[in-house]
Amino acid sequence: MATVTYDHASRIYPGTERPAVDQLNLHVEDGEFLVLVGPSGCGKSTSLRMLAGLEDVNAGRILIGDRDVTDVQPKDRDIAMVFQNYALYPHMSVADNMGFALKIAGKPKSEIRSRVEEAAKILDLTEYLDRKPKALSGGQRQRVAMGRAIVRNPQVFLMDEPLSNLDAKLRVQTRTQIASLTRRLEVTTVYVTHDQVEALTMGDRIAVLKDGVLQQVDTPRALYDSPKNVFVAGFIGSPAMNIGTFSVTNGVAKIGQAQIPLTRDAVAGLTAEDNGKVTLGFRPEALDIVPESDPSAIEIEVNIVEELGSDAYVYGTLKGDAAGADLASAGAGDHEVIVRINPRTAPAKGERIHVAIRPGQEHVFSPTTGLRLSSQ
């Protein structure tokens, strides 16, 4: 087992000026499950391929343990990669697919068989060892790809969106199996996904990237509770955080008639460039339905109610004085707010409701830099 270190690692593709990965500094502990997450084109797969040796490192270096592997061939890095498309040999049995890398390495047949059977037992594939990949379901094929990685006993597992070809229910089931398996094997794992729900449920820590630049790396809970900037706030969480820019007067942000007191350090962090405004974020579950007479009430017209059984989400439009605010959620359009409500008392489309942000549950950012202004 080993640690992984990106030391100012950059990748610039020929013919482009902007790096696909820009000065990435990241340390993965021995046995840790680290998830690289971000929107399409953010550099997460490129970062993984740099670690695998499938992409050149144009600046900086990459270490596995204490060994600099920047210029080492992929086959000599002692890593195992699980791809999105499984990459199984269709003419080989499951057992032969899983043991192929060991066969190429010249391992004895008895050792190959033993390691394949051990991995198959872990992955519940024993009864399928003699079948061809075409006779397996998508989830079973993905487990075969996992088994092929496990039998090699690598120092590091690399996984590039391995669940994206599975249906929704199977994805949930398989992600639990992968997270459980890698912790049991205690193998350092770097896992790439664009699905932030997958990232939150699987990772010991999550690294969020945007445009090739690392935005924040922390535990799932810390990312959710204390996003470092507006991008991380809007990206982490489902449904997305409501984020808007509002006027500030005497240390109070105004959303229509609602007044949101700001902490002293948040007010002190505002600069002349912010022009008397502040960016506030508040999650759907941080809003409570209140009477219209409440001084902190924000008026919303209901556009649609999403029923999820145990939960319901109102997607509504800001009304009254707040309607002119620069407010948008990553899951909604301009001037729209998402509210989590009790599904048994859900309002109807077209109704107007009044909500208030629970004290201390707002996130405060600079509208100029996008950086967090308060510790709460």
Q: What pLDDT does 330 receive?
A: 43
Q: For residue 228, count other CB atoms closer than 10 A to its CB.
A: 18
pLDDT digits (tens, 9 = 90+) for 140-163: 888 899 899 889 889 999 999 988
In sequence order, the β-bridge partners of residue 260 are 253
Q: What pLDDT does 166 receive?
A: 81
Structure tokens at 77: 């890095």
Structure tokens at 21: 């990965």
How many CA within 13 A on the CB side of residue 128?
A: 22
pLDDT digits (tens, 9 = 90+) for 223-233: 999 999 999 99
Percent of the chain with pLDDT over 70: 95
Pseudo-torsion of CA 343, 347, 348, 353, nearest 10°? -150
Q: What pLDDT does 158 receive?
A: 95
Q: How confident is the model at residue 196 (pLDDT cuts 50, 70, 90)?
A: confident
pTM over 0.75: yes
Q: What pLDDT does 332 receive?
A: 45
Q: What domains are there in the chain, each with its CATH number?
A: 4-233 (3.40.50.300), 241-365 (2.40.50.140)
Among 9-18, 34-43, 108-117, 249-258, the range scoring the smallest mean pLDDT is 249-258
pLDDT digits (tens, 9 = 90+) for 309-364: 889 999 999 876 554 455 544 444 446 899 999 999 889 999 999 999 998 899 99
Residues with Cβ within 8 Å of 39's Cβ and at least 6 positions away in sequence, in order, are 194, 210, 235
Mean pLDDT of the 25-31 span: 96
pLDDT digits (tens, 9 = 90+) for 44-68: 999 999 999 999 999 999 999 999 9
Peptide bond into 227 cis (omega under 30): no
Q: Which residue has the higher pLDDT, 360 or 28?
A: 28
Q: What pLDDT does 331 receive?
A: 44
Q: What pLDDT does 171 receive?
A: 85
pLDDT digits (tens, 9 = 90+) for 213-224: 999 999 999 999
Q: What pLDDT does 325 receive?
A: 53
Structure tokens at 307: 């029923």
